[in-house]
Structure 1
Amino acid sequence: MAGEAVLIAAFSGRALAQSARRAGYVPLVADAFGDLDTRDSAAAVHVIDGAMAAGFRTRPLIHALDALAQSISIPPIGLVLGSGFEDKPRLIAALGHRYRLIGNEAATYKACKDPAVFFARLDELGIAHPTTQPCPPDTTKGWLTKRVGGSGGRHIRSCDAAAGERRRRYFQKQISGDRLSVGGVFGTEHAHLALSRQWIAPSPDQAFRFGGAVSMPDVAPDLRSKLESAARDVASAFGIVGMASFDFIISGGTPHLLEVNPRPGASLDVLDDEQGALFRAHIAACLGISQADDPPLTPKTARAMAILHADRGSLTLGSTPWPAWSADRGQPGTYIPKGAPIASVFAEAASADAAEALARTRLAELEDLIYEHTQS
């Protein structure tokens, strides 16, 4: 119920914390950044040092979550996981033994992120996907190598002769087309799906790095129906509950499913509303709480979010005069390595194209502003 405390763990807990707060919950966040926006939204924040570089480890994370739970007089209702757990089913299982997971179990993550299991199930369901195999192709041109359990695009590389020597990798034929994602809350009779369009922000080292997303893309009704049908079928086949996202590339008019993230994703920023409807629905779906069959909201404007990376070089944040349309704002003195995320920008407009264009303009504006105010 609203007003109760909830634990959140993610590489970046800001979006979940803000959605939880809008929904009337009291968020307690363990993440890798502890940025100003997360601290403004959360009742308490515990930063896990080194998590972005090395991933979450069991003892430090449990220590942080225990400390957060003890910081409030009423026990939290459970734990919501965001990014950072896709390749850690053992950690998810350990967390599930200690806290009530408000989301998918370890077995669901493992099945969705095991290419042998996942793509074989897509074949059974008749859902198109790029050609995928566990061993390097004879000819590497036109192939990608991806890390098992990876997400966000940073793990994707063009295939080369040395690709087979890397551990925990699989291989996928590269296809081109528009990138669309289906986001939704599963496990309730009243779940509503929404589409977003995504784009990449390539760098010399990371050609498929996630760049941003925008809601309300202009999608033909028949294609929308195919996307939503595939998402529902896959969610049912893998027993997915709560928030999840399904990433597709549209090639030759056919949606090809690339991956599923069985947890709240980057599209939360552009699909949620001012009342935290997605977070409330996630709690209800995972805990079996009935919700009134309210009609889905019909937004009048498209919303975009985009990530600014430190591509000009490493920096130490100064006293930046952050614009109101920015988020994930670091504290002065925060060191950011070259290529790492600095902050995010938001934009709204009458159409998806206009919102994305405004977000890209704001990225350039914020980049200039931040580098002008770096500490020496």
Structure 2
Amino acid sequence: MHALPYADGSFDADALEQTLQHIAAEAPQGLVYGSGFEARTELLSLVEQYMPLIGNPVRVVRNMKRALTFFALLDVLNIRHPAVSLQQMSPQALASGAWLSKRNGGSGGTHIRKVPAGAVLEQGSYYQQEIPGIPVSILFAADGTRARAVGFNQQWLAPTPLMPYRYGGAVSRAELPLAVRQQLLEAAQKLTSAVGLRGLNSLDGIMAGERLWILELNPRLTATFDLYPAGNGALFELHMQASAGNLANWPSLGEQARAHYIVYAPGSMRVPGHFDWPDWTADLPRAGSHIEAGDPVCTVTAEGSSADEAVMLMAERVRQLIKELN
């Protein structure tokens, strides 16, 4: 295992290249990548110098994570999305509605800010109209031509005054209206046909009643991948095969709903040296390590026969864990 420095939503280039040199000596099949590359897609190009990418090529990631090209494509494909502006808006225009600023290539929601009238748009960012509603997503597999749904999810936030859209978690097998599920899958299919998406991808949106606004495409493995456990790594194998253009061997994903929640430190804390972590926790910190306020502590998971049941159990486990840590 190799640990890389990570800051501001990306990896350190020098550390990444040194690690790639070590791994390349073992003749790997390729790299399956997740987050940490969208803000600096040149790092994916660096990876390609040492090994193949398993998933979407660099150009797809670059174009789909740039507001200019992504939202222009949504317009061409007639896919509904919130209004966006790539240029500085006047104080009057900002005051006339609810607007957010987002960073090109941002992930996890920590880069999203509410925009007061008169705020200056930072370089590399854009405005997006704030749409009240419920965050939802689709996890889907694509073979370059066709898209097929793995599942539909409902997401929630873990907001702070500075980061009102920080990602909090999600639950699989969400009981979304049929019209919303159809819109998500149709958008996934249109985007797959347009840019040749491959492997597992996710599409995020905001649902209000039976209407849907698409927010972003994640052309890579995402956190919702873990919400669909399949035996013997079958879902990971689906990603590998779909990246190679094959959707024929569809795995059995079971009927259980699964939820996960990211527990953030409410204040500065030190991880207990001999804490007995429950088996329903993941992404665990090192014993004795220091965690700053607002940084993630761990992930709590739960399963149930329905999304509501999984969420209720997850919430109880979060309360239990926080009590024990304190």
What TM-score do the two structures reach when normalised by structure 1? Answer: 0.80
Partner of 1:234: 191
Q: How many residues in Structure 1 have an aligned counterpart in Structure 2?
A: 321
- After TM superposition, give the deviation of residue 83 of structure 1 in Å: 0.9
CA distance in 1, matches of 2:76, 2:278: 49
Alpha-carbon distance, 1:208 to partner:
0.6
1:236 positional shift: 2.1
Of 65, 85, 108 in structure 2, the residue corresponding to residue 113 of structure 1 is 65
Per-residue Cα deviation, 1:157-200 (whole angstroms, up to 9, x for no partner):
00024632522110011001121101011117684431111110
Q: Is residue 155 of structure 1 aligned with residue 111 of structure 2? A: yes
- 2:274 pairs, out of 291, 313, 319, with 319
Residue identity opposite 1:171 in structure 2? Y
Pick which of 218-227 and 148-157 moved more: 218-227
**What are the ranges of 5 or more consecutive residues in structure 2 without an aligned counterpart?**
none
- Any residues of structure 2 matched to 1:229-308 within 5 Å, and which? 229-288=186-245, 290=246, 292-294=248-250, 297=252, 299-308=254-263
Change (3 A) 1:59 1:172: same
Separation in structure 2 between the aligned mates of residue 116 and residue 209 of structure 1, nearest angstrom: 23
Amino acid across the alignment from 2:217: V
Report SS of the residue matched to 1:118: helix
* Alignment-derived partner of residue 212 in structure 1: 169
Asked if the contact 1:182–1:196 (Cα under 8 Å) also holds between the matched residues in 2, the reply is yes
Residue type at the aligned position of 2:124: R
Describe the superposition over 1:53-83 as per-residue Cα deviations: whole angstroms up to 9, x where unpaired. 572122211211332444x5xx211111111
- Aligned equivalents of 1:163 and 1:190: distance in 2? 40
**Which letter maps to 2:257?**
A
Letter in 2 for 1:219: L
Partners of 1:79 and 1:153 lie apart in 2 by: 25
Alignment of 1:79-228 (within 5 A): 79-137=31-89, 138-140=93-95, 141-161=97-117, 163-187=119-143, 191-228=148-185
Asked whether the equivalents of residues 182 and 194 of structure 1 are also in contact (C-alpha less than 8 Å), the reply is yes
The runs of 5 or more residues in structure 1 that have no matched partner are: 1-44, 372-376
The one-letter code sitting in structure 2 at the alignment partner of 1:104 is: N
Report the Cα distance in structure 1 between the residues aligned to 2:272 and 2:258, rounded to whole angstroms. 27
8 Å contact kept, 1:55–1:84: yes
User: Residue type matched to 2:226 in 1?
Assistant: D
Tell me if 1:363 matches 2:318.
Answer: yes
The 1-side partners of 2:152 and 2:9 are apart by 32
Partner of 1:338 in structure 2?
A: 293
